[in-house]
Amino acid sequence: MKGITILGATGSIGLNTLEVIKQHRQDYEVIALTAHQQVDRLEALCLEWMPRYAVMADSDAAERLSLRLKKINAPVQVLSGTDGLTFVASLPETNLVMAAIVGSAGLLPTLAAAKAGKRLLLANKEALVMSGQILIETVRKHGAELLPVDSEHSAIFQCLPFKKNTGIQQETHHTEISRLLLTASGGPFRTYSVEQLHDVTPEQACAHPNWNMGRKISVDSATMMNKGLEVIEACWLFSTPPNKIEVVLHPQSVIHSLVEYIDGSVLAQLGQPDMRTPIAYALAWPKRISSGVPRLNLTEIAQLDFEAIDFNRFPCLKLAYDALLAGGTTTTILNAANEIAVEAFLQKRLRFTAISKVVETTLSKLSGHKATSIDIILEDDAHARDLASELINCEKNAQS
Ligand code: NAD
Ligand code: MG
């Protein structure tokens, strides 16, 4: 029996994780569940799973949840804030931590899980984008295991030579591998012209053709910033330089990514576009367990298409590559500006096409530093957020 903490339990990845665990209740005990402000949803999950701890990021929400659970004598201890999140990420009775909080809020609890030497199932790609080097070093130093949950990285991980001792591929295979190929569906606006992109709404951006995801990652998929973040993620997870990571459009989302070897072999992982597959793989690695995902029917799919990326229509991907090459906290700045711009777009305070502009201007006005400590990373993150917010306010004033 393995104990698991699920950070971001009420989200798309959190709920899919519980769906997989439901099929293997004898193997996993849910120790802690966390959410941001959704008291009703976390209460329902607590009643179903009876974890030892529940954490609300927001302290008022924690109080409300605690009162409700006390009323029915549910033996769940309710905590709050970053301290509560890092506490449940480090519990001795927890073996596995699913890092599925969205955005920078996931960084400190993710790092805490690495420090506590846990098996870290990483969905929260922003943590690696903000602080790749520190997170990887922490994993190594404390003997943690880092397993990718992002479907592309799970695919690459499954196509790399097998190494039993650790999740991430610490040993070098770089002499054998010529390229990592990340597939991208192209999101809901793959065929839109630049003019058509001008007036798209949050509702349209969140209606992804293949995947059902949280709102932030859905917008990132529509701008292709998600693929940019994934290139950075792949770079850290697989110790691979940016020039060996390429993106190819593949609208069907059946091939989740590929590894090309120097002998000309290209290994790919295929499957339904359903996050329960990579989640199950990370949960049970190096074993495989059932995930509840239906079989892939190749004759029904019949055709797989591939296209080159048009960087003009999707400038965010280019910005991410550039930030990665610049190194240090430049990717932290990219991530922070993007989080602020996406939030503004979701609140209808910013046009879709202005998201990349806000990120680009923020990057041009701030210089990154060596990412040698979390304090430096958090400082640059805060500066980038302030500047991006200012830019959005100016843009709004200019429009009104
Ligand atoms: P989501 O919005 O559906 O869920 C996010 C979860 O984080 C919720 O439980 C929410 O309560 C919690 N949360 C949000 N803000 C918080 C805060 N400030 N403090 C504490 N908790 C907070 O998002 P998602 O789609 O499940 O994505 C989660 C992460 O997984 C993201 O980093 C995303 O990039 C990554 N990911 C998601 C998918 C997917 O298919 N959904 C695929 C690959 C990677
Ligand atoms: Mg992905």
Quick: pLDDT tens for 60-83: 999 999 999 999 999 999 999 999
In a domain, 59, yes or no: yes
Per this entry, what is the length of the chain?
A: 400
| Integer Cα distance of 108 and 106 in angstroms | 6
Same domain, 65 and 95: yes
Looking at residue 400, its pLDDT comes to 60
Question: Ligand 1: which of 6, 7, 10, 13 to mutate, most ligand atoms within 8 Å of CB?
Answer: 13
Look at ligand 1, atom 31, and give the residue with the nearest C-alpha.
102
Residues 25 and 61 occupy one common structural domain: yes
- What pLDDT is recorded for position 175? 85
Out of 94, 118, 148, a domain closes at 148
Ligand 1 pocket, mutate which of 213, 220, 343 (most atoms under 8 A from CB): 213
Q: Residue 306: phi, psi to the nearest 5?
A: -140, 140
Task: Enumerate residues lining ligand 1, CB below 6 A.
Answer: 8-14, 35-36, 38, 57, 100-102, 105, 123-126, 150, 211, 213-214, 216-217, 275
Q: Are residues 214 and 297 in the same domain?
A: yes
In a domain, 153, yes or no: no
Task: Among the bound ligands, name the one nearest to the CA of residue 210.
Answer: 1
What are residue 11's phi and psi, to 5 degrees?
-85, -175
112 and 44 both lie in a single domain: yes
The two beta strands, 177-184 and 255-261, are: antiparallel
For residue 395, what pLDDT is reported?
77
Tell whether 319 is covered by a domain.
no
* Tens-digit pLDDT profile for residues 214-224: 999 999 999 99
Distance in Å, CA 67 to ligand 2 centroid: 38
Backbone angles phi, psi at 297, to 5 degrees: -105, 100
| Domain shared by 77 and 142, yes or no | yes
> Residue 227: CB partners within 8 Å, gap ≥ 6?
182, 184, 221, 247, 314, 317, 320
Peptide bond just before 286 cis, omega within 30 deg: yes
Asked if residue 380 lies in contact with residue 369, where contact means CB atoms within 8 angstroms, the answer is: yes
Q: Give the distance (Å) from ligand 2 centre to CA of residue 50.
A: 30
Who's near 360: CB < 8 A, 6+ residues apart?
Answer: 315, 319
Instruction: Grade residue 396 by pLDDT with cuts at 50, 70 and 90.
Output: confident
The parent domain of residue 386 ranges over: 327-399
Residue 213: per-residue pLDDT = 93
CATH code for position 122: 3.40.50.720
241-300 confidence digits (pLDDT tens): 999 999 999 999 999 999 999 999 999 999 999 999 999 999 999 999 999 999 999 999
Ligand nearest to the CA of 124: 1
- 322 lies in some domain: no
Q: What is the mean pLDDT of residues 293-310?
A: 96
Strand, coil or helix: 283:
helix
398 CB-contact burial (10 Å; exposed 0-12 / middle 13-18 / buried 19+)? exposed
Residue where a domain terminates, one of 260, 283, 301:
301
Tell me the ligand closest to 230's alpha carbon: 2
For 294, counting Cβ atoms within 10 Å of its Cβ (0-12 exposed, 13-18 middle, 19+ buried), the class is exposed
| pLDDT given for residue 219 in this prediction | 97
Q: Report CA-CA distances (Å) from 76 to 18, 30, 31, 71, 178.
A: 18, 12, 10, 12, 50
Ligand with smallest separation from the Cα of 14: 1
| 11 and 143 co-located in one domain | yes
Q: What per-residue string of b and e applies to 348-368 under the rule 16 or more CB within 10 Å gives b?
A: eebbbbbbbbbbbbbbeebeb
Split at pLDDT 50, 70, 90, the class of 171 is: low
Same structural domain, 11 and 116: yes
The atom number, within ligand 1, closest to the CA of 9 reads 9
CA of 335 to the centre of ligand 2 (A): 16
Residues 11 and 97 in one domain: yes
Q: Does residue 335 share a domain with residue 296?
A: no
220 and 296 part of one domain: yes
- Residue 208 pLDDT: 85
195-243: pLDDT as tens digits: 999 999 999 999 988 888 999 999 999 999 999 999 999 999 999 999 9
Assess whether pLDDT exceeds 70 at residue 172: no
What CA–CA distance (Å, rounded) separates 367 from 334?
11
Within a domain: 244: yes
Q: What is the identity of the amino acid at 312? A: N
Other residues' Cβ atoms within 10 Å of the Cβ of residue 127: 28
Average pLDDT in the chain: 95
Residues 142 and 171 in one domain: no
Ligand 1 atom with the smallest distance to the CA of 124 is 32
Residue 140 in domain: yes
Q: Ligand 1 test: best mutation among 102, 211, 338, 339, most atoms within 8 Å of CB?
A: 102
Q: What is the pLDDT of residue 209?
A: 87
CATH code for the domain of 341: 1.10.1740.10
* Nearest protein Cα to ligand 1, atom 9: 8
Count CB neighbours of 241 within 10 A: 10
Substitution site in 85, 101, 151, 223 for ligand 1 pocket (most atoms within 8 Å of beta carbon): 101
Number of domains in the chain: 3
CA 212 to ligand 1 center in whole angstroms: 12
Mean pLDDT of 355-369: 98
169, 208, 245, 260, 284 from 158: Cα distances, Å:
11, 25, 16, 13, 13
**Shared-domain flag, residues 68 and 197:** no
Q: Of the ranges 21-30, 83-92, 154-163, which one carries the lowest mean pLDDT score? A: 154-163
Q: 219 CA distance to ligand 1 centroid (A)?
A: 13
Digit-coded pLDDT (tens) for 94-144: 999 999 999 999 999 999 999 999 999 999 999 999 999 999 999 999 999
